[in-house]
């Protein structure tokens, strides 16, 4: 019997309480929910036996960090455990089968916003620690940090880490915020793409204009924006900003073969997403496009009138949000500069553009040779019954770079989500079997660390 199976009803009840709090960081209407969420989390961490639980400000008015620790090991390493309690907005609400903040179980899957990203995943670690404290099992020193701004770029976390180096000083970090290949296909992350996320706003006038009075005599920001966005890539999907690919790491044939050992078929992607055909660089496989090739995507567009019925308006401005995923050896500063210069080169006379950068993080490559990585691999093998695959993940987790830069330690990315969990989309879910195996894997890993001597 596992700890989860012995305590299933209670653990699910607690997780459902946690998931029912709408800790949305992207919208100011949810500030009270953020307060309720941090209060709930800090109280729960105290209940399981953690100490020095604090709600710590990162910046005035910003979602705070929740910190806790458990420091009772003399010679074992110190592990910094990271999670984020903020979640994505649930829009569009009408596509949810059940309300996003009313957690429900269907077919042994938990449906709620944040079920995977990231409440369910970090809750597995919390329950593992709870179990080990109850059992009196050997534990390493533990420090916990839960942030509330991950979904909006973690805008204040780097400064927080930099300003609290002594408090957060550790030997290794553990982050459960990534997917596995399948319920019976364990995997562990050896790389994460970076991210440059920008907003562009095109302005041609000081006021919206009547299209009958002014059409044909003035620039239309909607049309300028559409034209610029159409020039960001060619018909094959190649990014056209000069220098975009200059520093992309070349992988050897052997390295590419190793990467392609990870099963990821076109059919699987189409099944998970509902797309009818894949589109990408033809000389690379889906798994390579996923992890070792950079991308540029338009994430949102606005301008003019989009309500019901007609409105003959030429808007004074129009904008778009654009994300660029970086890979090994690319410099986010250079990519940001290249993007700005390219957009400016496309801009017609008499029109202004404003840029805003939300996130600027380099890619992370993890060498699978450290003791900590090999212990994590052994733990996954013990729980899942097979050796985990090494995966270059397509997403970005900025905190890993901040931890490396300011604390000088590597992170182990041992997540328990699945690729069909619909993160950031309606009907997000987390499989109960992955919650159970996540608890067991974290227990095994922390127990191994608890008997490791670093004195």
DSSP classification of residue 388: P
Q: Is residue 82 part of a domain?
A: yes
Condensed to tens digits (0 to 9), the pLDDT of residues 77-105 reads 999 999 999 999 999 999 999 999 999 99
Provide the β-strand partners of residue 194: 326
Residue found under tokens 């009196």: 136
Residue 182 neighbours by CB distance under 10 Å: 14
How many domains is the chain partitioned into structurally? 2
Provide the β-strand partners of residue 393: 192
Same domain, 168 and 89: yes
Same domain, 186 and 208: no
Same domain, 217 and 146: no
Where is the domain boundary, 360, 382, 417?
A: 360
Q: In angstroms, rounded to a whole number, what is the distance separating the alpha carbons of residues 348 and 284?
A: 36
Of the pLDDT bands very low, low, confident and very high (cuts 50, 70, 90), residue 160 is: very high
Task: Say what the pLDDT of residue 85 is.
Answer: 99
Same domain, 141 and 215: no
Q: Is residue 286 part of a domain?
A: no
Is residue 155 predicted with pLDDT exceeding 90? no
Provide the β-strand partners of residue 104: 111
Helix (H/G/I), strand (E/B), else coil: 417:
strand
Sheet holding 187-192, edge to edge: 364-365, 187-192, 389-393
Residue 214 CA, chain-centre distance (Å), reads 45
Residue 395 neighbours by CB distance under 10 Å: 16
Q: Is residue 445 part of a domain?
A: yes
Same domain, 47 and 173: yes
User: What φ, ψ does residue 353 adopt, rounded to 5°?
Assistant: -135, 140
**Cβ neighbours of residue 68 closer than 8 Å, sequence gap 6 or more:** 42, 45, 46, 50, 51, 52, 53, 54, 143, 144
Q: Is residue 283 part of a domain?
A: no
Same domain, 151 and 115: yes
Average pLDDT score over the chain: 96
Go through 121-159 and write b for each residue having 16 or more CB atoms within 10 A of its CB, e for each that does not. bbbbbbbbbbbbbeeeebbbbbbbbbbbbbbbbbbbbbe
Where is the domain boundary, 338, 360, 382?
A: 360
Q: Is residue 263 part of a domain?
A: no
Of the pLDDT bands very low, low, confident and very high (cuts 50, 70, 90), residue 395 is: confident
The domain spanning residue 15 has which CATH number? 3.40.630.10
Condensed to tens digits (0 to 9), the pLDDT of residues 334-377 reads 999 999 999 999 999 999 999 999 888 999 998 889 999 999 99
Is residue 209 predicted with pLDDT exceeding 90? yes
Q: Is residue 288 part of a domain?
A: no
Domain holding 77, by residue range, is 3-192+363-450
DSSP classification of residue 255: H
Task: Say what the pLDDT of residue 143 is.
Answer: 99
Condensed to tens digits (0 to 9), the pLDDT of residues 282-329 reads 899 999 999 999 999 999 999 999 999 999 999 999 999 999 999 999
Task: Say what the pLDDT of residue 16 is.
Answer: 99
Spatial CA neighbour of 452 closest among 141, 132, 176, 168: 141
Same domain, 16 and 141: yes
When mean pLDDT is compared across 29-38, 261-270, 378-387, the lowest value belongs to 261-270
Q: In angstroms, rounded to a whole number, what is the distance separating the alpha carbons of residues 83 and 174?
A: 9
Same domain, 125 and 150: yes
Condensed to tens digits (0 to 9), the pLDDT of residues 52-64 reads 999 999 999 999 9
Q: Is 250 exposed, middle or buried (0-12, 13-18, 19+ CB in 10 A)?
A: exposed
Same domain, 400 and 425: yes
Q: Is residue 94 part of a domain?
A: yes
Q: Is residue 273 part of a domain?
A: no
Helix (H) or strand (E) holding 322: strand 317-326
Provide the β-strand partners of residue 190: none
Same domain, 74 and 210: no
- Beta pairing class for 78-84 and 141-147: parallel
Spatial CA neighbour of 401 closest among 151, 173, 126: 173
Residue found under tokens 């609400």: 93
The domain spanning residue 320 has which CATH number? 3.30.70.360
Residue 308 neighbours by CB distance under 10 Å: 6
Where is the domain boundary, 344, 360, 376?
A: 360
User: What φ, ψ does residue 420 adopt, rounded to 5°?
Assistant: -100, 20
Same domain, 84 and 119: yes
Could you tell me if 435 and 110 are in contact, meaning their C-beta atoms sit under 8 angstroms apart? yes
Same domain, 436 and 385: yes
What is the token pair recorded at 85? 């309690």
What is the token pair recorded at 245? 């690919």
Q: In angstroms, rounded to a whole number, what is the distance separating the alpha carbons of residues 116 and 422?
A: 9
Global confidence as pTM: 0.85
């Amino acid at each position: 019997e596992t700890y989860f199976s012995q305590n299933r009803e209670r653990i699910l009840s607690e997780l459902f309480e946690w998931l029912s709090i709408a800790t949305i960081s992207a919208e100011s209407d949810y500030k009270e929910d953020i307060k309720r969420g941090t209060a709930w989390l800090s109280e729960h961490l105290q209940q399981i036996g953690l100490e020095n639980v604090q709600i710590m400000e990162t910046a005035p008015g910003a979602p705070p960090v929740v910190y806790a620790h458990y420091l009772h090991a003399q010679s074992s390493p110190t592990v910094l455990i990271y999670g984020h309690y903020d979640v994505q907005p649930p829009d569009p609400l009408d596509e949810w089968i059940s309300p996003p903040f009313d957690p429900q179980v269907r077919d042994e899957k938990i449906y709620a916003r944040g079920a995977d990203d990231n409440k369910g995943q970090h809750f597995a670690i919390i329950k593992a620690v709870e179990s080990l404290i109850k059992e009196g099992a050997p534990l390493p020193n533990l420090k916990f940090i839960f942030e509330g701004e991950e979904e909006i770029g973690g805008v204040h976390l780097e400064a927080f880490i930099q300003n609290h180096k002594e408090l957060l000083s550790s030997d290794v970090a553990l982050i459960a915020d990534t997917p596995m290949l399948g319920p019976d296909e364990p995997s562990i992350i050896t790389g994460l793409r970076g991210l440059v996320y920008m907003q562009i706003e095109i302005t041609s006038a000081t006021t919206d204009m009547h299209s009958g009075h002014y059409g044909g005599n003035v620039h239309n920001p909607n049309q300028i924006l559409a034209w610029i966005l159409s020039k960001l890539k060619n018909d094959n999907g190649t990014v056209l900003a000069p220098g975009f690919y200059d520093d992309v790491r070349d992988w050897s044939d052997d390295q590419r073969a190793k990467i392609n050992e990870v099963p990821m078929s076109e059919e699987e992607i189409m099944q998970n997403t509902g797309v009818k055909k894949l589109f990408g660089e033809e000389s690379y496989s889906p798994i390579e496009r996923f992890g070792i090739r950079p991308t540029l995507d338009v994430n949102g567009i606005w301008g003019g009138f989009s309500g019901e019925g007609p409105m003959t308006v030429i808007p004074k401005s129009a904008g778009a949000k654009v994300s660029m995923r970086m890979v090994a050896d690319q410099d986010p500063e250079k990519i940001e500069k290249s993007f700005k210069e390219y957009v400016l080169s496309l801009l017609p006379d008499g029109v202004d553009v404003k840029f805003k950068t939300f996130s600027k993080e380099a890619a992370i490559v993890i060498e699978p040779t450290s003791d900590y990585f090999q212990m994590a691999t052994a733990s996954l093998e013990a729980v899942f019954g097979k050796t985990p695959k090494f995966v270059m993940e397509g997403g970005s987790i900025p905190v890993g770079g901040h931890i490396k830069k300011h604390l000088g330690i590597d992170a182990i990315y041992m997540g328990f989500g699945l690729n069909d969990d619909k993160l950031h989309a309606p009907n997000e879910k987390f499989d109960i079997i992955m919650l159970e195996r996540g608890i067991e894997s974290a227990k095994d890993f922390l127990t191994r660390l608890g008997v490791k001597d670093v004195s």
